[in-house]
Structure 1
Amino acid sequence: MPRQSQHPKEESFNFRIDPKLKAEFQTATEAEDKPAAQVLRDFMRAYVERQRERALAADARQQSRALAERAADPGSDEAEVIRWIEDVTDT
C-alpha cells in the first residue's frame, strides 16, 4: 500500500554534501529511528522560525529607537506621555 501523508510534498531540494557527513547524518538519524528527510525538514522549519524571530526583534529595536528619538524632543507627544508616567509614579 502506498504511503499516505498529511502533507503531500510538492517540491524537492537537491544539494551536494560531503559523503562522510552524509553517512554520519544517516547513522545519527537511523539511531533515532527518524527519516533523514524529516530531520532536514525540521531543521529547515526551525531555521525559518529563527529568521522570523530575528526579523521581529530587529523591527522592535528599530521601533524602540524611533520612539526614544521622539521622546527626546521635549515638545513631542511621547515626551509628554513620559512626563505623565513619571508624575503618576511619583505620587
Structure 2
Amino acid sequence: MPRTSQFPKADTFNLRIDSDLKAAFTQATEAEDKPAAQVIRDFMRSYVERQRRKAFELEARRQSLAIARRSRNSSTDEYVSLLELEALFEETAVDDDSTK
C-alpha cells in the first residue's frame, strides 16, 4: 500500500535513550493523542529555528556594535545620520510641547 502521510519518509534518526525516559515520553505523547515521532520532529524543528534565531540575533548585535563604534567618529556617515536623527527628535519634541 502506498504511503499516505503528509510527511514522506526521507531519512531515519536512530538514537539510544534511557528506557524510563522513553516510557515517560511515550506516555506523555499518548496522553495528548500525538505520535511520538511527530513530537520529536516538532522538537527538532523548534531547535533548528531557535539556533537560526540565535545566529540572527548575534549577527544583528555584531552589526549594531560596529555601527555604534563608527557613529563615534565624526567623519563617518553614521555620525552624520545620528546628528540628523537627534535634530528630528528635538524638532518633534518641540512640536509636541507646543500643541499641549
TM-score, scaled relative to structure 2 = 0.85
Where do residues 5-84 of structure 1 align in structure 2 (5 Å cutoff)? 5-84=5-84
Q: Which has the larger radius of gyration?
A: 2
Give the AA of the match of 1:70: R
Give the AA of the match of 1:54: K
User: Aligned-pair distance for 1:2?
Assistant: 5.4
Deviations 1:14-67 (A, max 9, x none): 000000000010011111111110000000011111111111100100010010
Give the AA of the match of 2:29: T
Structure 2: distance between partners of 1:3 and 1:87: 65
Q: Aligned residue for 2:88? A: 88
How many residue pairs end up in the alignment? 91
- Stretches of structure 2 that go unaligned for 5 or more consecutive residues are 92-100
Question: Alignment identity in percent?
Answer: 55
- Stretches of structure 1 that go unaligned for 5 or more consecutive residues are none
TM-score, scaled relative to structure 1 = 0.93
User: Aligned-pair distance for 1:3?
Assistant: 4.8
Give the SS at the match of 1:29. Answer: helix
